[in-house]
Amino acid sequence: MEEISFDSVDKALKKFRPYLLRDGGDYELIEVTPEGIVKIRLLGACVSCPSSDMTLKMGIELTLAEKIFGFKEVVQVY
């Protein structure tokens, strides 16, 4: 398990990205705070998707929780 940093989060999320791209969506990693908060902007089809909250919580957040030590929460940035 890696320590939380912008690079470690970016690396972990790249494994999740193909699932978003397959459905016409994507994300932009905005910021990773020392407190473990990851700020993400959803792009493409994810912006208007009614399941975007589930994507953040059940997809991205679970992925990071499994791979990144010190991770706390994903916050969507608009």
How sure is the predictor about 2, in pLDDT bands with cuts at 50, 70 and 90? confident
Q: What are the tens digits of pLDDT across the range 46-58?
A: 999 998 888 888 8
Give pLDDT tens digits for 10-47. 999 998 899 899 999 999 999 999 999 999 999 999 99
CA distance from start to end of the chain: 29
Alpha-carbon distance of 70 to 78, in angstroms, equals: 24
Report the side by side order of strands in the sheet with 73-76: 25-32, 37-44, 73-76
